[in-house]
């Protein structure tokens, strides 16, 4: 072997940048490059990069996912589908895997990238004077088990709960949580875009129902979940984007004294316009806490909710009555004192309820 050959350095493999790979694939499927964001997460073990695709309307998730899996395979890595906690229009896909010794997580969300949060800029002292920043948290999907009453008992009473009317224990769960002093919401099933998540179940508000049919659906659901102060949508990515449907729901809510919290399962929602025109008190979700049902992801989302509240003065975060979510909230909420005030959702309304 010659002296020159001995001096040739060993090639150093170049580790692909997750955001660049995902952007390249996403743009092939009609998603703008700027709608793909990434952050490195400090967790034990190999590094984790979370890449979020803020999917535009009409984005075809399955072809994108298959294309991305093939691209990652060609790089010597792997990505595999994983379940999401929040579906029905918002959480569209999750893929986890490893490439070049780095863990990748790709989230496809049905939400445009419009928010300034902790992912894009640091948040310092509260920008809100007076009472300071306020954060309301609503936990969805209660009613399938009575265990939720025991699980929630040690947590702050400011945590509100949304109860599904088409569950076996809806009325009993509503009674026990109201006895704890909690604010309750009706988690009203509404029609999602076909193919997005599971069926919302019986009694859902579907596109095409008449004013009388919408009012009847709402009335039956309220009978199953007594004592609520507000309503938020379960799924509903199709129904909340349909103006006639939301006008009918707003008219049915008018006069009940209830507020409407838009879960924002689609960026195309017209709920705010319909509710405000009908004079129905209105709130909107800022973010979901547990799209990924893992302690680290939930904890990071909670910190993002705090930063959002400190930046904008108030925020509403939505989670679910899942074991992982309740465990994280039990550990993290006491540490938020001094940074944000945990409040009931109704305290964030611009005007007082009539009830």
What are 301-328's pLDDT values in tens digits? Answer: 999 999 999 999 999 999 999 999 999 9
pLDDT, position 13: 40
- Say which CATH number the domain at 202 has: 3.20.20.370
Distance between CA atoms of residues 18 and 72, nearest Å: 9
Do 158 and 67 fall within a single domain?
A: no
Do 203 and 74 fall within a single domain?
A: no
Do 342 and 214 fall within a single domain?
A: yes
Do 267 and 344 fall within a single domain?
A: yes
Whether 56 is in a domain gets the answer yes
Whether 235 is in a domain gets the answer yes
Do 310 and 343 fall within a single domain?
A: yes
Do 48 and 193 fall within a single domain?
A: no
Express each pLDDT in 132-191 by its tens digit: 999 999 999 999 999 999 999 999 999 999 999 999 999 999 999 999 999 999 999 999
Pairing of strands 314-320, 134-142: parallel
Whether 209 is in a domain gets the answer yes
Q: What is the dihedral of CA 109, 58, 247, 259, to 10 degrees?
A: 0
Do 146 and 236 fall within a single domain?
A: yes
Stretches where the chain sits below pLDDT 50 are: 4, 8-14, 115-129
Q: How many domains does the chain have?
A: 2
Whether 120 is in a domain gets the answer no
- Say which CATH number the domain at 31 has: 3.30.460
Q: How far apart are the first and last CA of the chain?
A: 90
pLDDT, position 345: 98
Among the listed residues 8, 113, 15, 11, the one whose alpha carbon sits nearest the alpha carbon of residue 55: 113
Residue 319 pairs in a beta bridge with: 139
* Both tokens assigned to 256: 């009940």
pLDDT, position 87: 62
Do 186 and 248 fall within a single domain?
A: yes
For 143, the domain range is 134-348
Do 258 and 337 fall within a single domain?
A: yes
């Amino acid at each position: 072997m010659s002296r020159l050959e001995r001096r040739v350095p060993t090639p150093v493999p170049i580790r692909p940048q997750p955001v660049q790979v995902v952007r390249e694939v996403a743009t092939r499927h009609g998603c703008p490059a700027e709608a793909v964001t990434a952050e490195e997460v400090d967790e034990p073990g190999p590094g984790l990069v979370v890449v979020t695709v803020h999917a535009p309307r009409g984005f075809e998730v399955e072809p994108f996912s298959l294309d991305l899996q093939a691209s990652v395979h060609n790089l010597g890595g792997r990505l595999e589908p994983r379940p999401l906690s929040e579906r029905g229009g918002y959480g569209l896909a999750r893929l986890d895997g490893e490439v070049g010794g780095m863990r990748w997580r790709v989230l496809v969300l049905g939400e445009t990238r419009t928010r300034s949060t902790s992912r894009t800029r640091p948040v310092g002292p509260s920008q809100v004077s007076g009472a300071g920043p306020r954060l309301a948290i609503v936990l969805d999907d209660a009613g399938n088990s009575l265990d939720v009453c025991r699980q929630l008992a040690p947590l702050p009473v400011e945590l509100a709960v949304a109860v599904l009317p088409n569950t076996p224990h809806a009325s009993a769960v509503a009674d026990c949580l109201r006895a704890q002093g909690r604010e309750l919401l009706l988690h009203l099933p509404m029609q999602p875009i076909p193919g997005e998540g599971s069926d919302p179940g019986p009694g859902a508000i579907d596109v095409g129902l008449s004013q009388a049919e919408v009012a009847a659906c709402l009335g039956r659901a309220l009978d199953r979940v007594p004592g609520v102060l507000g309503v938020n949508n379960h799924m509903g990515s199709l129904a909340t984007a349909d103006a006639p449907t939301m006008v009918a729901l707003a008219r049915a809510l008018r006069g009940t004294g209830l507020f409407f919290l838009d879960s924002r399962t689609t960026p195309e929602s017209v709920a705010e316009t319909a509710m405000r025109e009908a004079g129905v008190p209105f709130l909107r979700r800022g973010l979901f806490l547990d799209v990924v049902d893992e302690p680290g992801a939930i904890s990071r989302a909670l910190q993002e909710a705090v930063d959002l509240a400190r930046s904008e003065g108030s925020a509403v975060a939505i989670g679910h009555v899942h074991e992982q979510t309740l465990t994280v909230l039990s550990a993290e909420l006491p540490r938020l004192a001094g940074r944000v005030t945990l409040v009931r959702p109704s305290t964030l309304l611009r005007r007082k309820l009539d009830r």
